Structure 1
Amino acid sequence: MKLGLAEPSPQSTALPVEIGFLAHHGHPPETLRQAAILARSVGVPADEFLLKHNLVGEDDFYRALATELQLPFLAAPRLSRSAHYPNSVLAGIAPLGNRKSGFVMAPRGEALARFLRTRPRGGPLAITSPSRMREAVFRARGPWIAHRAASDLAERTPDLATDLSYAQIAVLSIGVALISFGICHAPEATVTIMGAALGPLFLGMIVLRLAASILNNPIEPKTQLPRAEDTGLPVYTIIAALYREKRVAARLIHALSRLDYPAAKLDIKLVLETDDRETLETLQAIELPGNTEIIVAPKGEPRTKPRALNVALPLARGRFTVIYDAEDVPDPGQLRLAVARFAGLPRNVACLQARLTIDNTDDSWLTRLFTIEYAALFDVFNPGLAEIGSPILLGGTSVLKAIHGWDAWNVTEDADLGIRLARLGYEVRDLPSSTLEEAPSTLGVWMRQRTRWMKGYVQTATSHSRKPGALLRQLGIWRFYGALVLTWGIVLSAVVYPLFSALFLTWWLSGTARLFASRWELMGHAYSLTLFFSGAIAIVVPACFALHRRRLWRLLPWVPLLPFYYGLVSLAAWRGLWELATATFRWNKTSHGHARTSRSGLVQKHQARVVDTRSLKTAPP
């Protein structure tokens, strides 16, 4: 950041105590003075402004502090087992390994100012930096941190946690086997019974999709909200879990640097796994902003994204928390819009779901259909559900600590989170702001991703319907019905979609639906006809509305292929059921950074810049 201000007024020349000592240790007083003025204009302590803008290195700052206080600086403090996570990190104080060794401190903000005013000298105290303090706590408490990230939800609220027992898996397997047996030996009777049993779920899905389509939810705010002063903005925590994401790590940092939000009020946490050296080395080769920290999750099971997020969540310092994936490129004004929206909403609104949109639309036929699917889901269906007060399967929220974070054992953590928020009385609303994502461009990668999603939907449906009476009391009858439609309805419709479609077409094309059939046969055929055609309409209509809102009419010729696309979703659902029985908690990693096209132009432009930078770094002198 460049500091270029007018001549400061006499009232603003005094240096704040939390940075004033730096003038005695080689840092230009004028730079410190101008940083202090800017810090006041943003509404943050001067030390945080300096550090988050990389005006002073963290180690340099805290070594100077140690020298000023005549205390030792510890580069790798060895902490006592009584060090507490996350409090030792957040408070900046922890006991050292030897009881007589006293404490190590990494004060910041007001705590640093108080510490400097009291000027403790000597005694059992040492200084370290906040990053080194966090690393020391992780070394001392790693197994406990890993256990908490994996098991906190299950131990505190077991009724809301994923607990898919072998008995439940056996029941699901037996049900699938019985259906398969019935289809082979009595197809018409089996399909009739299944249609009668599942019809309410399918009709509910159809009604929800069509009702959402007629609601007006544009992709941008209907009214322009006034721009808030920087001093009034809260601290915003950003968490992103990265695993083997060296291709897109630099792009993510660039995307976050474009956010129209004071850098000193951003608390960015990138969570890595211990065996992911390539992503760590990529990030270490980048000059990370001072508001960004790398957290390496301790070894533990399960190896899932929600477990990694749970490691970082207790360290969040922001009033609000947003979750981004490694390949995300959010709209620069997204966080300001979210803060403004939250300010005008009831307190029980815990989450704003932004619009996800595919950027690499023209990579392949698959990415074109994926674009249509995401547009229908995030620009039509989810905003409509939010408007009518239905549970939503996607979310990320500022009340995550209160509800014990994500379910580490659920492989579609957002689906579970949406239902859990609804059960606990929270609401999810729409945020008309776009985040660009990269869609898989090959069928193999797409199938692995979608298999994980469908497996997670089964986990979510099974977990939250273990006690239907409790679910009904918590949600009420209509939201209870909506939750069933959005969990079991999605899973079962995907499972039976090709079967019902094939048998329906066979019956009608072979003349089974004859004019002089019995009354019951006519009723059955009318029922199946209604489901079939209304289901087809419920696929096409939201897609057309979404393409209109996104100005993507050039994709309209691809809409007739959606029934075949959902046939692939059905295959993924069957694969998900098989994987549920054979590898229940396996996380199918989706590789990113392979996009060949970019509708926005941002992704490819930055990818080229990353390549140029790396080639310069690796060139011989």
Structure 2
Amino acid sequence: MHNSREPTLPTNQGLAEGGPPSTDSHSALPIEIGFLAGRGYSSDNLRDATVLAEFAGTPVNEFLLKYNLISETEFYRALAEELSVPFLSAPRLSTEARYPDSIRAGVAPLAGPAGGYVLAPRGLSLAPLLKSRRAPHGRLAITTPSLFTKAVFRVHARAIADHAANALPNSAPGLSSRDGVTVPQIASLATMTMLASFAGTLAPESVLAGIAAGMSLLFLGMVVVRLAASLLHNPVEPVTIPRRIDDAALPIYTIIVALYREKRVASHLIAALTRLDYPMTKLDIKLVLEADDDETATALTATELPGCIEVIVAPPGHPRTKPRALNVALPLARGVYTAVYDAEDVPDPGQLRLAVASFAALPRNVVCLQARLTIDNTDDSWLTRLFTIEYAALFDVLNPGLAEIGCPIPLGGTSNHFRTAALRDMGGWDAWNVTEDADLGIRLARLGYSVVDLPSSTLEEAPSTLGAWMNQRTRWMKGFMQTCISHSRAPVSTLSQLGVWRFYGALVVTLGTVLSSLFYPFFTCLYFLMGPGDVVGEAWGLAWLAGSRTLFVLGLGAIVVPACVALRRRRLLRLLPWVLVLPLYYGLVSVAAWRALWELTTAPVFWHKTSHGLARTSRTGRGQKHQAKAEMTMSLKTAPP
């Protein structure tokens, strides 16, 4: 976040130095910070901060707070003294306070017979308050924005938890996984099963041939899409570097990170976020913790957080999922754009600037950019090597290709960049889907929005043990099954929203993924064991055998070709021998799919937690350095944007 063209930022110690202020120093400063000059803060340093704030295009009071040049508590205590009103460290709010409206406005009524209001003014709202010098609503008190948010959460914990879990299913039950399989779906499935069974007793060969033909159309679509995506040119870095936007012209950018039991990577995450090449005054970073996650809270307390980072504790509630935590923070997002990262992520420093430039050049119906995810701990184990190949094929070949041809895309769970208003309008994430990213990608397409590839990389940590990998993959496959269920409740409506070809594409990337994972080992065996007349009789046997063998060979090609193309793009050709192991690797995916099917009936919203901070290697050489340098990084004051 350092920019060598700008002057050095004064430290928070220097801000308070300089002796008594001159007689006119108070009036020579912006009113938002002028009162600090009368309380021991250096007028010269306050003027320097004012110049830098103008350069960044942000209110100077926000500049001081975001760069920790003055602590939040110090600033708002001084403001309360200037206004001659009480400062409240634990305001008791009336139930008339509203979420999220009161937090956005920075004002809420106080509880008790005396009444009155407590203010937590931000940015430009300070100037009118200081100019009027009187309480706008009668009795007045001041608190900090972070204390104010906690107070609102105390009053409305249950309502906030309910909103995060149920806002989408209450407003659009057909788009959520909360209610599971509906009665019409069960009736339809039962009817088709009975008809197939009855017909199977009369003409078993024809029924089997019909089922196989239907599934073959789905698998053929998967093969065509994967091979076609491999032919499209989608390099891992931008072909042209967009013009650097002036800091003053950049919008506020919200980043949401849901954390649970992430003490190992807490300081690593903060270090990665502070390295983003984006003005700190324009960042609105929200770390969402669960109420019982003391270990992560302790780790964050021990780390000096920049003023742009806010820690939010999600009220206890059900289900305990990542999307529910994201929904707690989304109503509070102040940014024009919102990005989602995972705890272990290390995004490319220029990713936010590239996203802003990309959004500006794209039509308004493009509301999501999917950045590239790449595995950093490749050499930890044989699993991480195969995971690296899989991610390279998915994020460097398949997803960019799907975006280019206009096919719906199951998003990755991180490094998604959204237009905040559109994300709110569509109800945020489905808290009841354990692969909320896949669901959101299909829902975006159904609502007429588009997703575009963002050629910027984010480093991720892959699970290195079979147990951790299996749990993570089981959750992913369960979420894909939930996505298939929720978006098949009204197939006619889905078809009309997507159109024929995009509907077929959605089937390919969701239902095709589920069925191919479930039946991959069985079809592999059948293709080798079936004879010409085993299914459809001798007359059509040779044609059937030729078609099935062709589809099988093309399927293998659809696995190998994208992987090889992706490894070339990522300059990871040393992993080419491992591509030969992918057919066996997808056998493990099938095991995870069957586990997911069982969990779907027994524990549909159970969230398999993936532990992070266990990587032993770093392909880029950065992963191992982050942890060692994190403490040093956070002990220094970050330079201005």
Aligned counterparts, 1:554-569, within 5 A: 554-569=574-589
Distance across 2 between alignment mates of 1:217 and 1:339: 20
1:618 maps to: none
CA pair 166-423 structure 1, distance change in 2 beyond 3 A: closer
2:543 maps to: 523
Give the drift of 1:194. 3.3
1:299 maps onto 2:316 in alignment:
yes
Distance across 2 between alignment mates of 1:603 and 1:13: 49
1:493 maps onto 2:519 in alignment:
no
1:377 maps to: 394
Question: Unaligned stretches of 5+ in structure 1?
Answer: 615-621
Aligned counterparts, 1:251-290, within 5 A: 251-290=268-307
Aligned counterparts, 1:288-367, within 5 A: 288-367=305-384
2:263 to 227, 246, 261: 246
1:3 maps to: 9
Aligned counterparts, 1:160-239, within 5 A: 160-162=175-177, 163-165=179-181, 192-239=209-256
SS of 1:594's equivalent? Answer: coil
Given residue 463 of structure 1, which amino acid in structure 2 is its aligned partner? S
1:401 maps onto 2:424 in alignment:
yes
Give the drift of 1:518. 2.6
CA pair 350-175 structure 1, distance change in 2 beyond 3 A: same
Given that 1:218 and 1:379 are in contact with CA atoms closer than 8 Å, whether structure 2 keeps it comes out as yes
Distance across 1 between alignment mates of 2:194 and 2:303: 53
1:443 to 459, 466, 475: 466
1:599 maps to: 619
SS of 1:353's equivalent? Answer: strand
SS of 2:263's equivalent? Answer: coil
CA pair 285-339 structure 1, distance change in 2 beyond 3 A: same
Aligned counterparts, 1:512-551, within 5 A: 518-551=538-571
Give the drift of 1:298. 0.2
1:619 maps to: none
Deviation string for 1:101-136 (max 9, x for gaps)? 210001111111111111116941100000000000
SS of 1:404's equivalent? Answer: coil
Distance across 2 between alignment mates of 1:524 and 1:287: 66
1:138 maps to: 153
Give the drift of 1:609. 3.7
CA pair 69-391 structure 1, distance change in 2 beyond 3 A: same
Distance across 2 between alignment mates of 1:178 and 1:504: 26
Given that 1:240 and 1:326 are in contact with CA atoms closer than 8 Å, whether structure 2 keeps it comes out as yes
Given that 2:25 and 2:37 are in contact with CA atoms closer than 8 Å, whether structure 1 keeps it comes out as no
Q: Which has the higher contact order (CA 8 A, sep 6+)?
A: 2
Deviation string for 1:61-85 (max 9, x for gaps)? 0000000000000000010111000
Given that 2:532 and 2:541 are in contact with CA atoms closer than 8 Å, whether structure 1 keeps it comes out as no
CA pair 421-382 structure 1, distance change in 2 beyond 3 A: same
Distance across 2 between alignment mates of 1:393 and 1:121: 51
Distance across 2 between alignment mates of 1:253 and 1:35: 24
Given residue 416 of structure 1, which amino acid in structure 2 is its aligned partner? D
Given that 1:70 and 1:121 are in contact with CA atoms closer than 8 Å, whether structure 2 keeps it comes out as no
CA pair 244-176 structure 1, distance change in 2 beyond 3 A: farther
1:32 to 46, 62, 87: 46
Give the drift of 1:462. 0.9
CA pair 532-484 structure 1, distance change in 2 beyond 3 A: same
Distance across 2 between alignment mates of 1:472 and 1:192: 26
CA pair 282-179 structure 1, distance change in 2 beyond 3 A: farther
Given residue 32 of structure 2, which amino acid in structure 1 is its aligned partner? E
Given residue 101 of structure 1, which amino acid in structure 2 is its aligned partner? G
Given that 1:241 and 1:325 are in contact with CA atoms closer than 8 Å, whether structure 2 keeps it comes out as yes
Given residue 612 of structure 2, which amino acid in structure 1 is its aligned partner? H
Given residue 148 of structure 2, which amino acid in structure 1 is its aligned partner? M
Given that 1:13 and 1:33 are in contact with CA atoms closer than 8 Å, whether structure 2 keeps it comes out as no
1:426 maps onto 2:449 in alignment:
yes
1:43 maps onto 2:57 in alignment:
yes
Give the drift of 1:177. 12
Give the drift of 1:602. 1.4
CA pair 170-576 structure 1, distance change in 2 beyond 3 A: farther
Given that 1:191 and 1:500 are in contact with CA atoms closer than 8 Å, whether structure 2 keeps it comes out as no
Give the drift of 1:178. 12
SS of 1:295's equivalent? Answer: strand
CA pair 439-189 structure 1, distance change in 2 beyond 3 A: farther
Distance across 2 between alignment mates of 1:370 and 1:171: 37
Please, what TM-score do these two structures have when normalized by structure 2?
Answer: 0.90
CA pair 429-541 structure 1, distance change in 2 beyond 3 A: same
SS of 2:48's equivalent? Answer: helix
1:368 maps onto 2:385 in alignment:
yes
Given that 1:12 and 1:37 are in contact with CA atoms closer than 8 Å, whether structure 2 keeps it comes out as no
Give the drift of 1:188. 8.1
Give the drift of 1:189. 7.7
2:172 to 146, 154, 157: 157
Identity %: 63
CA pair 361-12 structure 1, distance change in 2 beyond 3 A: farther
Give the drift of 1:324. 0.1
SS of 1:94's equivalent? Answer: strand
SS of 1:293's equivalent? Answer: strand
Given that 2:442 and 2:506 are in contact with CA atoms closer than 8 Å, whether structure 1 keeps it comes out as yes
> CA-atom RMSD, angstroms?
2.7
2:17 maps to: none
CA pair 254-179 structure 1, distance change in 2 beyond 3 A: farther
Given residue 396 of structure 2, which amino acid in structure 1 is its aligned partner? D
Given residue 255 of structure 1, which amino acid in structure 2 is its aligned partner? A
Distance across 2 between alignment mates of 1:401 and 1:79: 26
Distance across 1 between alignment mates of 2:31 and 2:631: 43
CA pair 466-148 structure 1, distance change in 2 beyond 3 A: same
Distance across 1 between alignment mates of 2:470 and 2:296: 25
Given that 1:396 and 1:414 are in contact with CA atoms closer than 8 Å, whether structure 2 keeps it comes out as no
Give the drift of 1:171. 8.0
Question: Unaligned stretches of 5+ in structure 2?
Answer: 3-7, 12-23, 635-641
